[in-house]
Amino acid sequence: MGLLIGMDIGGTNIVCGLVDEEGRLMNKIKKTTEAHKGSEYVFDKIQSMIKELLQLSDVPLTDISAIGAGTPGFIDPVRGVTLFAGNLKWKDVPTAEEIRKRTGIPAFIDNDVRMYAYGEAVRGAAQGYEHVLGITIGTGLAAAVVNNGELYYGGGYMAGEIGHFTFPEHIPYVCGCGMTGCLETVASATGMARQAKDLLRGGRVSVLQEWFKDTSIDHLTAADVSRAYDLGDPVAVEVMNHTGRLLGRGLAYAVTMYSPDMIVIGGGGALAGERLFAPMREQLKQSVYSGYWERLAIATAQNIDDAGIIGSALSAGKRAATR
C-alpha cells in the first residue's frame, strides 16, 4: 500500500507522522494547533506540515497512498466530517475533504480514541488479540473496541463513551455533558487533580499543601498526585484508590458488554501506572463475572504517544485499499 501519513489533530497540538505499511513510525513533526484561528488556518497548517514531513523524510508526495487523521469529538468517518469537536470548536467540518483538496491524496478521518485503540490493536500492546477494548485516560475518559481488526461504531458512530457512565452514589461532580456523576469527572487526569484539590480545600493534611503553599493549587496536576502517592501521602493514596476502584467498576460494565480479550490503557492519565491500575484491577475482578475475567489481559499502551498516528495511518491505508 506504499507509505502513509497519520495525524492526530488535538485541541492543543497537531502531530503528523510518516508511517510505513507495517505500521512503523518513520518520522513525525508536531506543531501547536491554534484552533482559535479557525479551521481554514488549521488545514493550511496541516498542508504545510505534510510538506515539511515529506521533505524531512526525503519522500515524494506520490509515494503516499493515504492520509488518516484522528480528531476528538463526534466524527462521521464515512462522510469524513467532524460533526462536533469541542476542543477545536469545530462543527460539521468536512475534515477529510479539506485535507484531500490540499494534498490530492485520499484522506480519511475518525475519532482520535478509536484511532488510538486501532493503533494498539494492530501494531501495539494488543497485537494478536482478537477482541480489544482500548481506553484513554486524558482530559476525559473514552473507549473504543476493535474486533479482529474491525472498529465497533454503533449508531451515530457514538459507541464506547465510558467516560459518561454515571455513578451518582460515588461521584458528585457535574459533567460538561450536563449529567451529574460521570466517570470521567473522576477517572481522568483532570479528575484526579480535581479530587486532590477538593480534599486539600476541605482541609486535609497532605504534602501537596506544602508543595503548593506559594502557588495556587489550581495548578496541581495528576502528575503531582502520583509524586505525592510515592511518598505515601494519604490524600494522593485516597485519590488513586477511589479513582482506580470507580474505573474498575466502569470497566466491569464495559467488559460485560463487549467481552474483550485485552484491555489496553493509554493517555496521559495512564502514566499513573500501578498506583491507579492496582485498585482498578482488584475492583474489576470483583465486579465482573469470572468467565470474563479469566480470559482477560490488561496492558498499558505500547506506543503511548504514537498509537493514534499509527492507527490513523493504517486505518486510512486499509480504507483506501478497500474502497
List residues binding its own copies (CB under 8 A): 74, 130-131, 143, 147, 152-162, 164-166, 168-169, 177-179, 252-254, 256-261, 287-292, 295
Q: How many Cα atoms within 13 Å fall on the side-chain side of residue 139?
A: 9
Calpha distance 215→209 (Å, rounded): 10
Give the chain as a 3 state SS string.
Answer: CCEEEEEEECCCEEEEEEECCCCCEEEEEEEECCHHHCHHHHHHHHHHHHHHHHHHHCCCHHHEEEEEEEECCEEECCCCEEEEECCCCEEEECHHHHHHHHHCCCEEEEEHHHHHHHHHHHHCCCCCCCEEEEEEECCCEEEEEEECCEECCCHHHCCCCHHHCECCCCCCCECCCCCECEHHHCCCHHHHHHHHHHHHHCCCCCHHHHHCCCCCHHHCCHHHHHHHHHCCCHHHHHHHHHHHHHHHHHHHHHHHHHCCCEEEEECHHHHHCHHHHHHHHHHHHHHCCHHHHHCCEEEECCCCCCHHHHHHHHHHHHHHHHC
Question: Least CB distance from residue 151 to its own copies, whole Å?
Answer: 12
Strand 13-19 relative to strand 150-151, pairing:
unpaired
Closer of 184 and 306 to its own copies (Cβ): 184
Question: Least CB distance from residue 280 to its own copies, whole Å?
Answer: 16
Closer of 46 and 143 to its own copies (Cβ): 143
Closer of 283 and 315 to its own copies (Cβ): 283
Closer of 43 and 157 to its own copies (Cβ): 157
Closer of 57 and 259 to its own copies (Cβ): 259
Question: Least CB distance from residue 152 to its own copies, whole Å?
Answer: 8
Question: Least CB distance from residue 57 to its own copies, whole Å?
Answer: 39
Closer of 61 and 78 to its own copies (Cβ): 78
Question: Least CB distance from residue 227 to its own copies, whole Å?
Answer: 33
Closer of 150 and 274 to its own copies (Cβ): 150
Closer of 211 and 292 to its own copies (Cβ): 292
Question: Least CB distance from residue 115 to its own copies, whole Å?
Answer: 18
Question: Least CB distance from residue 114 to its own copies, whole Å?
Answer: 13
Strand 262-266 relative to strand 3-9, pairing:
unpaired
Calpha distance 288→269 (Å, rounded): 23
Question: Least CB distance from residue 132 to its own copies, whole Å?
Answer: 9
